[in-house]
Amino acid sequence: IDLVIDEVRGLEPEVLAPSCRVENATVMAVTQRSFVAKDATGAILVFRGYNKEIPEVGSVVTLDGQVTTFNQALQFDASATVTKTGTTTVTEPSATEVNASNIQSIIDANKVVFVKLPGELFKDGDYYNMTLPFDSSHTGSIDAPAESLNIDSYLNQMVDAYGWFIYKKKDEKASSR
């Protein structure tokens, strides 16, 4: 099925198509095992796993494959074919600043959006988390950060993390990539 990202996001998890195809999506951000692809209608996570090539930011790609759910969010799964069709200049969109008054609505919307998340960065095992500076039952998490971020140099400091809100975990922890 040929779709735009917003149409993919509109699919109900219980009736996902066996294969979806999105053309002319731009790679906006990368992690060690995934990337965020965006077209004019929205953004979606493309999970690749640790042993598959991750396209560079600015790559224009065609996505073709299974769309599944992970922690209640839709994503292309690791079996999807990613074909680079070009390159473009990427400009980060305006970030929605996460605060006490909007964090729940961002989580409830369950969309891939670019955010500014303030907090104190700490490491718990292999996970990078953030204690938020406002009254909230939530914490932020930075999932599989790219090595180029040198994230350990920011541990135990207040930071403004700019990134893509991807999904909520079962315990309502917001995850950003």
pLDDT computed for residue 168 by the predictor? 61
Q: Which amino acid is at 147?
A: E
Confidence at 165, pLDDT banded by 50, 70, 90:
confident
pLDDT computed for residue 35 by the predictor? 94
| pLDDT at position 21 over 70 | yes
pLDDT computed for residue 172 by the predictor? 46
Task: Look at 6-20, 44-58, 72-86, 106-120 and tell me which has the smallest mean pLDDT.
Answer: 6-20
Q: pTM (2 decimals)?
A: 0.84
- Across 34-125, the runs of DSSP E, i.e. the strands, are 34-39, 42-47, 59-65, 67-70, 73-76, 81-87, 96-97, 113-124
